[in-house]
């Protein structure tokens, strides 16, 4: 992880290595060697017999089709019974209630309008800071920036801009709605390392956040993040992939009958105008 | 003034048969030249993939040859559910993994030097730097597990999407995402000095 350089430099490094490696190979000699081996194996009758006659294939096809239909039917019956047991067990079901409690609160989502604004914000701020901006974070009404000494390279500018939001919500059984108690919003290009702490960012004593994200394709993003929130005895260390734009519950604790849950949302900003 | 029409001089030819058609034709006829055509078509990509996974040039040639022989021996197991190239990549990776398992007791070490690659046309200093860089990339890749190495090679070098790489590996897309992520993280850390400005 290098916050000074874009990830695609790694791709360029690997591709360059592969190209030089390929250029050093004598493909013609290897081709001759493989063709000779294929001919030799064929002469020994080791390269598979021609396939069975169509009639045999059809019979095999019918048999396998019948088996497949039987398997599908059996699986459907098992699934139906399992659903019935889950949903209708003892005449009552707590599945919908459980699922409802796990739904991310509205505050954990980043809507299209917000994403559009964040996309414009990062591009504008990059221009203002002469392409030396590393990241922007906003928490508790404060806006924090990290600016590096050197302007980013052109390649760095082509890295995907991302928006992330981490929300700690409080769920009190006596209240119908989850209440956000702490939120941090981050805007940065991929693979920037963001560290926020009491010392560096004036967060409440003991709170420390580390965040790094890399979009693996159009829909998924790999994220390394950690947060310690001593006041609520919340701490997590997350390292996995999650779907772009969808809040993911990454940590849950219960204290005195009140539940605290952390949601992490990451979205691409290169699709927004 | 007469209009000048430039022609390419090419004659129209019937489209060459697809890989799948060649494989099916071999299964019907047993004609070895059909296998040779398949080998010719796929040799550059397969040898490149194998060489990037196995990392040892001489062993890579053996594994490449073994890949084609294995694939052709088991051609009847190719059902056309995926493209022939995808299926062949899978055979190549499995053959490379088998090789790696056999070599597990003696891990790949980097013994590279200035003569590892053809670096003609560059200055002596440039050659030395390039050789060092290539050696470090190879060493970094050798420290990854074969599955992580395959994930990064398939996506970063061969340009496959995560879903396509997952199909080659026969794993879920989520697993492939995770492998790519893990491999990138390790490589970025390992090659940090070479990625700095």
A50 → closest Cβ in B30, B61, B116:
B30
Residues 6 or more apart whose Cβ sits within 8 Å of residue A11: B156
| Nearest beta carbon to residue B195 from set A2, A35, A150 | A2
The span from the CA of B172 to the CA of A64, in Å, is 25
What's the total number of domains in chain A? 2
Three-state SS sequence of A92-155: CCCHHHHHHHHCCCHHHCCCHHHHHHHHHHHHHHHHHCCCCEEEEEEECCEEEEEECCCCCCHH
Q: How far is CA B15 from CA A52, B11, B18, B21, B188, in A?
A: 28, 12, 9, 12, 44
Low-confidence ranges of chain A (pLDDT < 50): 1-5, 51-67, 78-100, 273
pLDDT below 70 — which residues of chain B?
A: 1-15, 104-124, 197
Shared domain for A125 and A147, answered yes or no, is yes
Which one, of B49, B54, B46, lies nearest residue B138 by Cα? B54
B192 closest CB neighbour out of A2, A21, A49: A2
Nearest Cα to Cα of residue A171 among A233, A258, A262, A103: A258
Q: Distance from CA of residue B21 to its chain's centroid? A: 23
Question: Could you identify the residue written with the tokens 């559009």?
Answer: A116
A140 lies in the same domain as A236: yes
A48-91 tens-digit pLDDT: 655 443 333 333 343 444 445 555 555 555 444 443 433 333 33
CA–CA distance, B55 with B99 (Å, rounded to integer): 11
Domain that holds residue A72: 55-93
What's the gap in Å between the CA of A241 and the closest CA on chain B? 6
Q: What is the pLDDT of residue A74?
A: 54
Taking contacts as CB-CB distances below 8 angstroms, the residues of chain A near B28 are 50-51
Q: Considering only CB atoms, which chain A residues are within 8 Å of B194?
A: 13
Residue A86 shares a structural domain with residue A116? no
User: pLDDT value at position A154?
Assistant: 58
User: Strands of A248-255's sheet, edge to edge?
Assistant: A142-147, A133-139, A179-189, A161-171, A258-268, A248-255
Task: Say whether both A70 and A149 belong to one domain.
Answer: no
Write the burial class of residue A164 (CB in 10 Å: 0-12 exposed, 13-18 middle, 19+ buried).
buried
Spatial separation of the C-alpha atoms in residues A212 and A223, rounded to whole Å: 6
Same domain, A75 and A137: no
pTM greater than 0.90? no
Are A121 and A84 in a shared domain?
no
Output the pLDDT for position B112: 43
A3 part of a folded domain: no
**Of the partner residues B43, B138, B192, the one whose CB lies closest to the CB of residue A27:** B43
Secondary structure element (H or E) that encloses residue B167, with its range: helix B162-169
Asked if B113 is an interface residue toward chain A (Cβ–Cβ < 8 A), one would say no
Among residues B88, B108, B111, the alpha carbon closest in space to that of B99 is found at B108
Chain B residues with CB-CB distance to A9 below 8 A: 195
Residue of B nearest to A15 (CA): B157
Q: Given this model, what pLDDT does residue A174 score? A: 83
CA A51 to CA A227: how far, in whole Å? 60
Distance CA A122, CA A111 (A): 17
Residue B161, chain A, CB below 8 Å: the answer is yes
Cβ contacts of B144 on chain A, cutoff 8 Å: none
Same domain? For A77 and A151 the reply is no
pLDDT at A89: 35
Smallest Cα distance from B100 to chain A, Å: 19
Nearest CA to A155 out of A254, A270, A7 is that of A7
Q: Can you tell me the distance from the alpha carbon of B111 to that of B61, in angstroms, rounded to the nearest whole number?
A: 18
Residue A22 within a domain: no
Decide if A150 is inside a domain. Answer: yes
Domains defined for chain B, CATH in brackets = 18-104 (1.10.1740.10), 123-197 (1.10.10.10)
Report yes or no on A49 lying in a domain.
Answer: no
Tokens 């399992």: give the residue: A82
Residues A62 and A183 in one domain: no
A240 & A196 share domain: yes
Q: Are residues A251 and A145 in the same domain?
A: yes
State which of A93, A116, A147 marks the end of a domain. Answer: A93
Number of neighbours of residue A173 by Cβ within 10 angstroms: 9
C-alpha distance from B27 to closest chain A C-alpha (Å): 4
* CA-based nearest residue to A264, from A135, A164, A117, A163: A164
Q: Is residue A63 part of a domain?
A: yes
Domain boundary among A64, A93, A122: A93
Determine the pLDDT at residue A233. 81
DSSP-derived letter for residue B118 is: -
Residue B51: which of A21, A41, A191 has the nearest Cβ?
A21
How many Å lie between the alpha carbon of B113 and the closest alpha carbon of chain A? 13
Q: Would A164 be classed as within a structural domain?
A: yes
| Cα-based angle A246, A250, A252 (whole degrees, multiple of 5) | 125
- How far, in Å, are B17, B23, B54, B96 from residue B38 at the CA level? 10, 8, 22, 20
Q: Does residue A162 form part of some domain?
A: yes
Cβ distance A268 to A246 under 8 Å? no
Q: How far apart are CA B161 and CA B64, in angstroms?
A: 23
Contact B119 A14 (CB under 8 A): no
A71 shares a domain with A174: no
Residue B126, pLDDT score: 72
Residue B5: per-residue pLDDT: 42
B51 and A20: CB-CB below 8 Å?
Answer: no
Residue A134 and residue A199 in one domain: yes
Asked if residue A19 is part of any domain, the answer here is no
């Amino acid at each position: 992880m290098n916050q000074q350089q874009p990830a695609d430099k790694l791709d360029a490094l690997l591709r360059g290595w592969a190209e030089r490696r390929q250029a050093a190979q004598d493909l013609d000699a290897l081709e001759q060697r493989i063709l000779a081996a294929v001919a030799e194996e064929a002469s020994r009758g080791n390269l598979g017999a021609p396939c069975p006659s169509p009639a045999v294939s059809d019979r095999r096809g019918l048999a396998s089709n019948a088996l497949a239909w039987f398997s599908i039917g059996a699986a459907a019956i098992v699934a139906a019974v399992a659903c019935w047991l889950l949903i209708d067990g003892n005449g009552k079901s707590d599945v919908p209630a459980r699922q409802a409690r796990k739904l991310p609160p509205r505050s954990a989502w980043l809507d299209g309008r917000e994403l559009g604004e964040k996309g414009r914000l990062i591009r504008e701020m990059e221009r203002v800071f002469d392409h030396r901006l590393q990241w922007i974070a906003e928490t508790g009404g404060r806006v924090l920036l990290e600016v590096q000494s050197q302007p980013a390279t052109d390649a760095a500018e082509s890295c995907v801009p991302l928006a992330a939001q981490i929300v700690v919500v409080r769920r009190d059984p006596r209240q119908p709605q989850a209440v956000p108690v702490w939120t941090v919003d981050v805007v940065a290009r991929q693979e920037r390392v963001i560290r926020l702490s009491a010392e560096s960012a004036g967060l409440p004593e003991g709170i420390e956040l580390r965040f790094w994200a890399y979009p693996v394709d159009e829909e998924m993003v790999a994220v390394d993040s950690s947060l310690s929130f001593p006041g609520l005895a919340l701490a997590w260390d997350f390292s996995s992939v999650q779907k772009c734009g969808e809040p993911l519950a990454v940590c849950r604790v219960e204290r005195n009958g009140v539940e605290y849950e952390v949601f992490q949302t990451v979205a691409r900003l290169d699709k927004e105008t | 003034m007469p209009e000048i029409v430039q022609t390419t001089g090419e004659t129209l030819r019937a489209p060459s048969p697809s890989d799948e058609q060649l494989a099916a034709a071999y299964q019907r006829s047993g004609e070895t030249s059909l296998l040779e055509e398949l080998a010719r078509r796929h040799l550059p990509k397969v040898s490149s993939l194998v060489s990037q996974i196995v990392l040892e040039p001489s062993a890579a040639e053996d594994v490449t040859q073994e890949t084609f022989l294995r694939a052709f021996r088991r051609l009847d197991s190719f059902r056309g559910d995926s493209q022939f190239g995808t299926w062949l990549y899978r055979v190549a990776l499995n053959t490379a993994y088998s090789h790696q398992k056999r070599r597990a007791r003696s891990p790949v070490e980097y013994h590279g030097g200035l003569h590892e690659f053809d670096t003609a046309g560059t200055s002596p200093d440039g050659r030395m730097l390039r050789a060092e860089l290539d050696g470090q990339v190879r060493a970094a890749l050798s420290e990854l597990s074969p599955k992580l190495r395959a994930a990064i090679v398939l996506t970063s070098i061969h340009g496959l999407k995560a879903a396509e790489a997952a199909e080659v590996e026969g794993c879920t897309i989520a697993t492939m995402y995770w492998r790519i992520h893990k491999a990138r993280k390790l490589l970025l850390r390992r090659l940090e000095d070479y990625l700095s400005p």
